[in-house]
Amino acid sequence: APGRVIFSGIQPTGVPHLGNYLGALSNWVRLQKTAAPEDELFFSIVGWHALTLPQDPDTLAASRKDLLATLLAIGLDPKRSILFHQDHNPVHTELAWILSCLTPIGKLRRMTTWKTRLAASRNANDESEVDESLLNAGLFTYPVLQAADILAYRATHVPVGEDQTQHLELCRDLADIFNRTSGRPIFPLPSQLNTISRRILSLRDPTSKMSKSSPDLQSRILLTDTAAQIKSKIRSAVTDSTPGITYDPLARPGTSNLLTILSACTDEDVHAVAGRYEGKGHGHLKADVAEAVEDLLKGPRTEFERIRHEKTFLEAVAKAGAERARERSEATMVCVRELLGL
Ligand code: ADP
Ligand code: NA
């Protein structure tokens, strides 16, 4: 049987945080370990997606390099997985254009991500007034670029979180429209690969997810944080004044978030972890969480500090990844262009 083709991407918008690691990147490493030999794995640093928001060029250039070093540091193997920069393969934009010409704009208007952007750009006093300077066409059409990222490799499985379900549905719709319009079933309809899905919350506001967009630097732990930084951030994590420790995400989001982090680090069931802390206090829990996070991140951090300075090696990895990605997608594009009369 032919293997699965697995594709996933991550934006180069700064050092990944613990949420990115536990929610996405650690799944990539697990997939690489558990994949069948005939499975193909593509992991892409999607620089074009980052341009949907204003980026400082020097910062973006540094983030692109550091993210590749991070992917290697957490254990992705460039011999096993195809690690590459999206912007090294022009096929992504070519296919995105072709797909955009098949995309009913109504579908894009229904994207939750777009609706959120649109809502954020509305005048607080007059809802009908939209500040168009906060919107660009890329923000509207990037789900099409995402579909092209996936379909360029005829991916069959996409490991992404629940927040991406709607985008993946659009991707399947576009694959189906192309297949039916051209009369050739060229694109498989990719399915969402259910990986361990965890939502890590902000350490300072446990009603929202840990995110790089929060201005409060204490709200997130970065993969490059030192043991002292990890300790201080966990110590100042917002919890509650209820005595004892219980896992109750609705009533006790901060406390439960710490238990989620601990159980993710030690790979245990969260209820089993909670059971061990029943009669104990937050100080005790926080000390253990800090230690577990440090244990988890120490290896990747040390590797990252080592690899990020190996410029020649990093360039060679990026170049080899791009060549493999281009070659694989070109095979698809030859058919696509021919079917369109190009
Ligand atoms: P951010 O919200 O920090 O901008 P991204 O949107 O770039 O993060 O997400 C990159 C990947 O990390 C996605 O697969 C996303 O589902 C995952 N992710 C981001 N934040 C979290 C979180 N707090 N908990 C779990 N997974 C997360
Ligand atoms: Na985001």
Residue 327 shares a structural domain with residue 258: no
Domain span at residue 75 reads 5-198+311-340
Q: Does ligand 1 come within 6 angstroms of the Cβ of 163? A: yes
- The confidence score (pLDDT) of residue 88 equals 98
pTM of the model: 0.93
CA 195/CA 191 separation, integer angstroms: 12
The number of distinct structural domains making up the chain is 2
Answer whether 35's CB lies under 8 Å from 41's CB.
yes
157-158 vs 82-85, strand pairing mode: unpaired
Low-confidence ranges of the chain (pLDDT < 50): none
Residue 193 shares a structural domain with residue 143: yes
In a domain, 12, yes or no: yes
In a domain, 145, yes or no: yes
Residue 301 shares a structural domain with residue 315: no
- The confidence score (pLDDT) of residue 97 equals 98
- The confidence score (pLDDT) of residue 124 equals 82
Residue 285 shares a structural domain with residue 324: no
In a domain, 38, yes or no: yes
Residue having the nearest C-alpha atom to atom 7 of ligand 1: 11
Q: What is the ipTM of this complex?
A: 0.94
Q: Which atom of ligand 1 is nearest to the CA of 210?
A: 23
* E-state strands within 46-112: 82-85
- Calculate how far, in angstroms, residue 211's C-alpha sits from the geometric centre of ligand 2: 7
Residue 183 shares a structural domain with residue 236: no
Q: Does ligand 1 come within 6 angstroms of the Cβ of 10? A: yes
Residue 23 shares a structural domain with residue 153: yes
82-85 vs 40-45, strand pairing mode: parallel
- Calculate how far, in angstroms, residue 18's C-alpha sits from the geometric centre of ligand 1: 9
Residue 97 shares a structural domain with residue 160: yes
Predicted confidence (pLDDT) per residue in 284-318, tens digit: 999 999 999 999 999 999 999 999 999 999 999 99
Q: Does ligand 1 come within 6 angstroms of the Cβ of 12? A: no
In a domain, 301, yes or no: yes
CA 321/CA 44 separation, integer angstroms: 9
- The confidence score (pLDDT) of residue 189 equals 98
In a domain, 45, yes or no: yes
Residue 147 shares a structural domain with residue 293: no
Q: Which atom of ligand 1 is nearest to the CA of 211?
A: 3
Residue 252 shares a structural domain with residue 186: no
Residue 99 shares a structural domain with residue 143: yes
CA 278/CA 250 separation, integer angstroms: 18
Residue having the nearest C-alpha atom to atom 26 of ligand 1: 23
CATH classification at residue 321: 3.40.50.620
- The confidence score (pLDDT) of residue 161 equals 80
Residue 61 shares a structural domain with residue 18: yes
